[in-house]
Structure 1
Amino acid sequence: MVNLSEHVEHCRVRFMQDALSEATAVYWRRRAAQFEWARPKPGEHHGQATPQQLRERDERLRDEAEACRNRARVALLGGEVW
């Protein structure tokens, strides 16, 4: 059984790893690529999604990817997002 102090230390380390990872441009470029990859593509099976729903999903994912690329630029410049 893991004792409480070990559990707290594990959570603290993981929190810091996530925070440092999210501060890098590489992380945000990778996230942008994931959003681009998820965009609907012609010829894919889209289930029962209507053309309008596919357009909306495509726009939303495109915008998310662009936001991630912008965040990567901020990380490279060493700026703050908030």
Structure 2
Amino acid sequence: MTIVRFALIVIVGLFVVVGGRWYAYVSNTSSPYDEVGIEINSRLPHGLRKWGCDRLQQSFPESVPPYGCGAPDSRSWI
């Protein structure tokens, strides 16, 4: 039972750390080109990724979208 509890604690901890890092990225106002944030955001399911990209676009409307937030032309936001 202790191994299961330990594994659950590790999984929840990773979820909190990665989720917090992603939220800090999409709610930042300094740069949309943080490498770790881009990587996390690009691997999320479409709904979360779209929400994150919308938040970034609100903060940086004139910027080229980061990987995962760009339309097929790579110059406009999704």
TM-score range, shorter chain: 0.3 to 0.5
Please give the TM-score of this superposition, normalised by the length of structure 1.
0.33
Higher helix fraction: Structure 1 or Structure 2?
1
Please give the TM-score of this superposition, normalised by the length of structure 2.
0.35
The answer to which structure, 1 or 2, has the higher relative contact order (CA under 8 A, 6+ apart) is 1
**Larger radius of gyration between Structure 1 and Structure 2:** 1
